[in-house]
Amino acid sequence: MQSGANARATGGLSEKRVVSYTARHFGVREEEVFFRPLTPDASTRKYYRVAPAEKAEETFIISLYPSPFNPHDNSYLDVTRLFEMAGLPVPGVISVAGTEGIILQEDLGDCSLNKWLIDAGTAGDESGADKMIGRAIDLISKIQATTGLAYEAESVSSRLAFDVDKLTWELNYFFDHFFGSLKQRQFAEDAQELIKSDLLAIAAELSSRPRVLTHRDYHGMNLMVDKHGALRIIDHQDARMGPATYDLVPLLVERLLKPADEIRVEGWQDYFLESRSSIGLPSIPTTELRYEFSLMTIQRQLKAIGTFSYQTAVVGRGEVYEQYIAPAIATVLRAMSKPGIRPYPALRGALESELY
């Protein structure tokens, strides 16, 4: 870990804010505080592991916002309260300093579900991996069962939705940063209009699907395996209403370097239907789920490609994100070939020309 003294000597204002707050919260001198900046994901927030002393038995996480916030209007705190009311496993919030842009919370460790599954694969523990994925899917069902509570509690998540505007914004983000920022590709006006028309059609179809509460970014890096082996949910501040398959798609097909085993994916779709049914959620016909999952895969993966492209071309973090772009495009093209999915010829052609 890095000391407060080092932060004052070599760190920026963010580090100094973290050290100063930690010292005051724990009643120690700044030079006693130890902290470690954590690798950022695609987020405007910064995260730090902190402790009141070098050999402290327990560490904590500070989420540092770029500016002060009102705790009563903070979406992370709002959704955390909602999830806690529903018995969903999120990190405990220990203290909030809105004027300093700081949330101090429980430290869940460094083992994400992605890392756990990689380790399980290396060890040949296929049964254990299947059980963990099943537990992650069960949590999706429990999030969806919280839909009514979100409205009753007037959570911010109940006032947000994957409507046409939101879904279209995400798809335009893909267009701007994949074809623009990353590929520097110029389309003729009529060709661009045809691609945008395909993107709008995808958004319109998905926005018409029945909505439930979604986490909004439910991939294996946003699920942590704590020291007791329990799955915990993080990065839930953008929860909103959306299609039932929205969270299932990133869990099963996102951030993969090899194509997902489609037979296994369909098996997990069936498990998802059973999981929902087991807690009393309305049934979804299997053919409807398969269709929505394919369409949701197209939209969600395109949005992810936009994020990967932005992080690569604009932020300069290609060493982390660029590797996922081509596999995601391939996943989109496979989903476009599924039963019932419209051809989206302009979009398909533009993607194929970049992949092959």
Give the domain ranges of the chain: 10-106, 113-355
Q: Residue 30 and residue 20: Cα distance in Å, rounded?
A: 6
3 state SS for 2-55: EEHHHHHHHCCHHHHHHHHHHHHHHCCCHHHCEEEECCCCCCCCEEEEEECCCC
Please, which residues bridge with residue 106 across strands?
60
Indicate the range of 42-51, 200-209, 224-233, 323-332 predicted with least confidence: 42-51
Is residue 63 within 8 A of residue 47, CB to CB? The reply is: yes
Two tokens, residue 208? 């018409």
pTM, full prediction:
0.93
54 alpha-carbon distance from chain centroid: 32
Strands 231-233 and 223-225: antiparallel
Q: What is the dihedral of CA 297, 264, 252, 119, to 10 degrees?
A: -150
Strands 102-106 and 231-233: unpaired
Is residue 255 within 8 A of residue 95, CB to CB? The reply is: no
pLDDT band for 356, please (50, 70, 90 cuts).
confident
Q: Residue 117 and residue 129: Cα distance in Å, rounded?
A: 6
pLDDT band for 7, please (50, 70, 90 cuts).
very low
193 alpha-carbon distance from chain centroid: 30
- Two domains, one topology: 10-106 and 113-355: no
Q: To which H or E segment does residue 182 belong?
A: none
Strands 102-106 and 93-97: antiparallel
Q: Residue 233 and residue 302: Cα distance in Å, rounded?
A: 24
Contacts of 105 (CB under 8 A, 6+ apart): 60, 61, 62, 63, 91, 92, 93, 94
Q: Pick the closest to residue 293 from 266, 275, 325 (CA basis).
A: 266
What is the per-residue pLDDT for 256? 85
Q: Pick the closest to residue 268 from 297, 296, 289, 282 (CA basis).
A: 289
What is the per-residue pLDDT for 42? 55
Q: What angle do CA 122, 318, 234 make, to 5 degrees?
A: 60
* pLDDT > 50? residue 8: no
Residue pointed to by tokens 């963010």: 14
Q: Residue 240 and residue 107: Cα distance in Å, rounded?
A: 25
Q: Residue 221 and residue 324: Cα distance in Å, rounded?
A: 14
DSSP classification of residue 112? B
Two tokens, residue 71? 């705790």
Per-residue pLDDT of 172-189, as tens digits, reads: 999 999 999 999 999 999
> What does residue 160 show for φ and ψ, rounded to 5 degrees?
-120, 150
Alpha helices, DSSP H, located in 27-163: 75-85, 113-122, 126-144, 147-152
Which CATH superfamily hosts domain 113-355? Aminoglycoside phosphotransferase (APH), C-terminal lobe (3.90.1200.10)
Is residue 80 within 8 A of residue 90, CB to CB? The reply is: yes
Which CATH superfamily hosts domain 10-106? Phosphorylase Kinase; domain 1 (3.30.200.20)
Is residue 281 within 8 A of residue 147, CB to CB? The reply is: no
What 3-state DSSP class applies to 122?
helix
Q: Residue 42 and residue 291: Cα distance in Å, rounded?
A: 29
Per-residue pLDDT of 61-105, as tens digits, reads: 999 999 999 999 999 999 999 999 999 999 999 999 999 999 999
What is the per-residue pLDDT for 21? 97
* pLDDT > 70? residue 3: no
Q: What is the mean pLDDT of residues 223-227?
A: 97
Contacts of 52 (CB under 8 A, 6+ apart): 22, 23, 26, 27, 28, 32, 33
